[in-house]
Every structure is written in structure tokens, then in C-alpha cells.
Structure 1
Amino acid sequence: MMIQTMSFLIVANVNPLEYSGPAWSPYLVGALIGCLSMLTFYFSNKPLGASTAYARVAGMLGNLAAPQHTGRLKYFRDNPPKVGWELMLVSGVMFGAFAAAWSGGELTGRLLPLMWQERFGVDSGLLRIVVAFLGGGLMAFGARMAGGCTSGHGISGTLQLAVGSWIAAIFFFIGGIVTAMLMFA
């Protein structure tokens, strides 16, 4: 992946440090994510992944709401809910996204992007929140069913040349293309 990105940069004659957009350069960020993944393997012998964090949060919430039921579930007996490195990674991603939006001049404070307003109207804030939560829930469910999320399969798994991760990554892109075509049609 890194070699493909670097060859694209050479062919396109693009300097990743001189990105003209307001956001951070996607080439530089992609290279940094690759470095982070390699360092994570080197220092902790663990792949990057975020979906386990959501399962741990669900377990912690389950311990608050129904501790006896949560304690009987095999998954949470084998993987006790706790604040682990996965949850810290997700927290870091959220902090990093905020820092990137703020430093890139893209922190708008708007609930509804202009594209959403044009498609669904100005008064569709509740619809956006419901769609976002449903989409997030479906993605979390899919990630748990697939044995990993986009970062687990798409970054760490492909880096290890895992066939299942390559298949998952291909379908991530297909799903993204179909979604973009539906949204921008």
C-alpha cells in the first residue's frame, strides 16, 4: 500500500507536504497511519483496530445497566469490559479528528452539511442524527460479524497480507463507491 502510494506521488508529481486543500494532506496522513501501524506491531505486537473498543464500551454499559446478565455472557467472561488500548485508540482518533478539523479550518460547528441540507432540507437535523446512529450501529454490527473493522482489516490485515482482510477491504471500497453514488446521484 505504501509503495503504491509513493509510486502514485512520483507519477502524479505531487508533494504530500504541499497540499493545497484546507485539510491535512491525505498522502501524508496515509503514510503516517502506515508508520503508526508498523510501530504498533513492533512495540505491542498487536494490530490497529477500533471495533473491539465498542464491544468493551457495550460491556461497561452492560455492567452498569444489567451486571448479572453481562457477567453471564461468554464474550464478556472471556474479555472483561475495561478501558484498554483499543478504547484509548478510539479516543485518540476522535481527538485527532477534532484537531485536524480545527487546524485545517474545517471546524464548522454545523450539524447539517450543505450537501445534506440540499438533499433533505434545512429542518432535517433529527433525521441526520437518527441516520448517523443507525449507520454507526450497522457498521459496528458488521465489523463484529466480519471479525474486524476498516482499521483492523483495511490497515493491519492488509499490511500482513491476510487474504480475508484484502477481501474485506475490497468490499469496503465497493460499499463506499455505492454509497457515494447514491448520495451524489
Structure 2
Amino acid sequence: MQKKDNAWNPYIAGALSGIVLIFSVLLTGNYFGTSTSFVMVLGMLEKVLSPERFVQLAYFKTIPTTLHWQILFVLGILVGGFIAAKMFGDFSIQAIPERWKTRFGSSKPKRYAVAFIGGIISMFGARLAGGCPSGQLSASALLSVSGFTAMILFFIFGIATATLVYRGGNKR
């Protein structure tokens, strides 16, 4: 993939993310994390659609099921990503990357199925690991062994997945 002239330097972007994390903790006491927000939203839906079932589920007693800062954090990521894409002229509406045609063929249902299954595996892994990559970044900032272990595994499996998905060249 060619580097765009207007792209952020990844080292500067990473350092800025660390600084934002520090200020988040200092000002609000909150560490980064996103995966629990999806469970919170599902809990809110469960509470509305099936309140009798909701009260029976012990899991929802352990997490907030009201509008929470983490949900707003996820919305901020979406809005910030949109603003950045517009600023750098990279914005396009695309459900699944076109380069996936090279790997998975031109069948949109097949590509949607692969993306959906990948999302389920990612969310399951995030919940199993006790947090998504942003949550594990927070754990690493606390010098947590679990945070560093998770980060190492994210890189190992990320490289393996990229090799599997993009083998045969990096065609745009």
C-alpha cells in the first residue's frame, strides 16, 4: 500500500493516543475501552424489548445498561474518524474493502459473511480477553502483564490474519 503524503505519522498518532489516555485518566478516571459498550447497548435493548428476561440475566447486573461514557467514546471515535477522513480526503462509503475481491471473490454475500464472522470472532475474543485493543492499551499503561500479553497476541494474530487475507500481493 502506498503511503499518502497527507497521512499522519503512525508514531506521532500513537504518542497522541497515549497522551489522550493520560488526560482521560487524570481528568475523568476513565481508561480507554470500547468492547463493553456493545454489550451495554444490547443490555439496553434487552431491557426495552424483554424486561422480564432482562431482570433474570445476572450478567446485566454487572455492567451499566444506561447511557454510559463508553458509548459516547465509541460515538466519538466514529465522528472523529469521519472528520479525519474528510480532512485528508479519504472519505468513501464502502461496506467491505474492494481489495477483498482479490481474496474472497466478487460475491458480495460471501464477503459480507466473512466480515460478519470475523466481527463475531473479534468481539468474542475481546470479551474473552477482558477487553478490546483499546482496553488492553489501558492495561499496558498500567504495566499490566495481561495488557502486554494481549498486545503481543494481537500483533501475532493480526500478522497471521493479514497474511491469510492479503496473500498474493497488496493490491488496492
Q: TM-score range by the shorter chain?
A: 0.7 to 0.9
CA contact (8 A) 2:126 2:132 kept: yes
The residue aligned with 1:93 is 77
Mark the CA change 1:76 to 1:113 in structure 2 (over 3 Å): closer, same or farther. closer
1:65: how far off?
2.5
Q: Percent identity?
A: 38
The residue aligned with 1:178 is 160
Q: Does 1:158 align with 2:133?
A: no
1:115-169 Cα offsets, whole Å, 9 max, x none, are: 11222333x222232222222222112111111110011x211111100110011
CA contact (8 A) 1:51 1:148 kept: yes
CA RMSD of aligned residues (A): 1.8
1:17-71 Cα offsets, whole Å, 9 max, x none, are: xx85343332222121101100111112221111110110110121132221122
The residue aligned with 1:52 is 36
The residue aligned with 1:136 is 119
The residue aligned with 2:170 is none
Query: Counterparts of 2:135 and 2:81 in 1: how far apart (Å)?
Result: 18
The residue aligned with 1:149 is 132
The residue aligned with 2:51 is 67
Aligned residues: 165
Mark the CA change 1:109 to 1:25 in structure 2 (over 3 Å): closer, same or farther. same
Q: Does 1:34 align with 2:18?
A: yes
Please give the secondary structure, in 2, of the residue aligned with 1:114.
coil
Greater relative CO, 1 or 2 (CA 8 Å, sep 6+): 2
CA contact (8 A) 1:50 1:151 kept: yes
Query: Counterparts of 2:140 and 2:153 in 1: how far apart (Å)?
Result: 13
CA contact (8 A) 1:22 1:106 kept: no
Query: Counterparts of 1:109 and 1:79 in 2: how far apart (Å)?
Result: 33
> Gaps spanning 5+ residues in structure 2: where?
168-172
Query: Counterparts of 1:55 and 1:167 in 2: how far apart (Å)?
Result: 24
Mark the CA change 1:179 to 1:58 in structure 2 (over 3 Å): closer, same or farther. same
Q: TM-score, normalised by structure 2?
A: 0.86
The residue aligned with 1:169 is 151
